[in-house]
């Protein structure tokens, strides 16, 4: 309902927490792909791994940048306004 009325600031803490978990999952998936390719490497598998690594690294970079922007935006809010979830994100 809040989204329909354009009151989306209440979603920011949930989005930041989800973004952190998504970033961590991308890193684990990349590590898993590297390990599975290192067991029996072939040139096509190495090529797929390279493409996957580039895509996942780019996704992680832009996700981290968005998290940083939200942190800066939150830091510029008035002093009495703190989200409990955002405090965890800053640590």
Q: What is the pLDDT of residue 44?
A: 93
- Residue 47: HSE in the Cβ half-sphere, 13 Å Cα cutoff: 3
Locate 65 and state its tokens: 């940048």
Q: Give the mean model confidence (pLDDT) for residues 66-83.
A: 73
Between 10 and 23, the more confident residue is: 23
Q: What is the pLDDT of residue 16?
A: 84
pTM here? 0.64
pLDDT tens, residue by residue, 13-70:
888 889 889 989 989 999 999 999 888 889 999 999 999 999 999 999 999 998 898 8
Kindly give, in sequence order, each residue whose CB lies less than 8 Å from that of residue 27, ignoring residues fewer than 6 positions away.
Answer: 60
């Amino acid at each position: 309902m809040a989204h329909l009325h354009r009151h989306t600031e209440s979603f920011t803490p949930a989005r930041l927490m989800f973004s952190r978990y998504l970033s961590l999952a991308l890193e684990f998936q990349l590590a898993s792909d590297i390990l599975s390719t290192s067991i029996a490497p072939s040139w096509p598998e190495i090529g797929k791994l390279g493409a996957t690594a580039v895509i996942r690294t780019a996704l992680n970079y832009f996700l981290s940048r968005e998290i940083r922007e939200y942190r800066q935006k939150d830091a510029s809010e008035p002093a009495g306004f703190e989200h409990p979830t955002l405090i965890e994100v800053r640590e």
